[in-house]
Structure 1
Amino acid sequence: MTGRSPFELFAVDTLLDDEERAMRDAVRRFVDERVRPEVGGWYEAASLPVRELATELGDLGVLGMHLEGYGCAGTSATAYGLACLELEAGDSGLRSLVSVQGSLAMYALHRWGSEEHKQEWLPRMAAGEAIGCFGLTEPDAGSDPGSMRTRARRDGDDWVLSGTKMWITNGSVADVAVVWAQTEVDGRDRVRGFVVPTDTPGFSAPEITRKMSLRASVTSELVLDGARLPASAMLPEADGLAGPLSCLGEARFGIVFGALGAARDCLEVALAYAEERQVFGRSLSAYQLTQAKLADCSLELGKGMLLALHLGRLKDAGRLRPEQVSLGKLNNVREALAVARECRTVLGAAGITQEYPMMRHANNLESVLTYEGTSEVHQLVIGQALTGHSAFR
């Protein structure tokens, strides 16, 4: 027998326009042809050919694709979300590469940078010729970025940056880092952003290698030891935490879609495996308990997709609020992780091997669950929207 795909049950294609379907299909082909044959090896080796992939992704038009001008494609937010879904169906590390490049580093320059910053960096970043990273998180300042210790002080006309950033995707291969630091303005601290070329003396980015998750991704520490920058390095339009938090909102939106890609990949593999596997003389997919697992996973995947598309339409209309992004990120990552784990059980022992993607996706989603805002942070964002009370302090 031939069954239906999970998204077909929800008639997802009827909710997309031609541009969105074309972008989705182009990224899916790229993942099928370029990524799937090699991603298991990248994951096992804890490496990713970032520069090679970046130029290919630039040719595909997905780097900063939802931004306007400066070589960016200017697509809809929904089309960008669908691209993230297909990228993460390959691996969360691949989607992270694109997300950090486009939704963090490029968005920060596009939204908060000077015209000189945009002209210098965005066309090369859109083409994948220059790699960016985003330095906000610190060893002791994750969910509370306002407590960051990295500082920028004035020295004549220059800025001098000192501090450490942690868990920075693309850090050790980047050409430019957008770094957030405390500065003193009128006797009080303010968070400001700085454009830091990675060949700046005093900047280094040692790679973090001992990871059990996101192994097909470059993760680094950023060390700024008296890195001297000209006055023009400061992002002129960003003043306070609104700057970096706006960038996080962009990245979180991509995750709302992206996590569903990992879940869909797991479910499609589980469906195919269950049909082929014979147990007690019957296909595993013919048993009630197996069908119950597959039905529940399909339901959560479809509900998550409908939520993602609704948020995409709100974003394209300019009406998406931060707490709504938190709804999507909290639900879709949490359910994607549950789907990956449940689909692993359908395969039994085979599900823990590199031959199948379930454990790789589940391990990756453990990181996605806590980066760009932990589940607890998103619960508190939603709670504040519901009650009017902030429970962060």
Structure 2
Amino acid sequence: MATQSKALIDDLKWRGLFSQSTDEAALIQALSKPTTLYIGFDPTAPSLHVGNLVVLLALRRFQLAGHIPIALVGGATGLIGDPSGKNEERSLNTTDVVAAWVERIRVQVSKYLDFNAKDNAAIVANNLDWTSPLSAIEFLRDVGKHFSVNQMLAKDSVSSRLEAGGISYTEFSYQVLQSFDFLELFRRHNCTLQLGGSDQWGNITAGLDLIRRVESGSAHALTIPLLAKADGSKFGKTAGGAIWLDPEMTSPYAFFQYWLNTDDKDVINFLKVFSFKSREEIEALEKSHSENPGAREAHRALARELTSLVHSAEICDRVEAAARALFGQGELSELDEATLTAALAELPRTTVKSSEPIPTWVDLLVATGVVDSKSAARRIVKEGGAYLNNAKISGEDFAPSKSDFLCGKYAVLRKGKRDLAAVELL
């Protein structure tokens, strides 16, 4: 199995999922037999986002290779806040809020791991289970005494905060809590490997040191590079904010469109990081993308796979049908209201009151801001580029009727092939 473990590490490197390891050769040797490993997720929001998905899917890759994954949800650490990557103190949430978020995130991570595997079933743990029973005195005596303040100050996440203006004792203690998690999982589940983002290196290695000091044991660390876009912008962000895994926070349609609109320079890299396609399949998509980028085959493969994985294949089919229908390649009337609402959410729009006469198509288009004058809108009608719900408009005086509003609520205006706008009936 040593050959298989090396193949796993080589595959992680090819996919850009390998940043650092304490001892790569020793790690490969350890992975030659089933190994228990974990990743921690703090409940700092009601949902995980696509940045979390990078490491969560890495954990899934280890399970597919025969190892035992633990998804640790930080009911305790979520009450404190990780200083990593932050230049100021986090806002502390109430215990009730964090507890609710823990449960939501526990359900989310459970979607991506197999809890019924015969030999390597996944585990979900909550670090509040072993942290809350400890008194402050016990924690300081039994755990805190093993930490050197000098070493803690040298950690990047702490030193960068000190340079930026300071750090509270609360967040300074986060490293100790995360190390204690590794120790407890080592004790309870013989967990000997922690995965995390590259910004977690200091916290993870502190946990290795704690295991050595307390249990005279050894374990391993593997970090994953923080994903960035080719243009330097932050991965997982749009003008509207983060891309969440919860469909109530980021609709499946918006989720699909996020991946479909991936920059050409990023799409193959994202396929490597997120897709479970083989190296041969991804290289074939890379070749296709290079030869005919306009076909956007790689983009569609990425959007389909991730939307199906996060939301379901059925929902993926539904939102893809919505995208086609918006541009005249399907029936808008067949879309359900939730999908239609999500599909129109980012479009220029205007509203009309059901108690008042509905304006003409020309007036509506101007009201959405797609064109800046009625003369421009009339010219579009004359040139044959005016559409309502994908039906061509031939008269400048045409006004929609209430029956034209899809789901009794929306009408879709289209100028030419690509410019869309929405009208909502109130």
TM-score by length of 2: 0.25
**Structure in which a larger fraction of residues adopt helix:** 1
Q: Which has the higher contact order (CA 8 A, sep 6+)?
A: 1
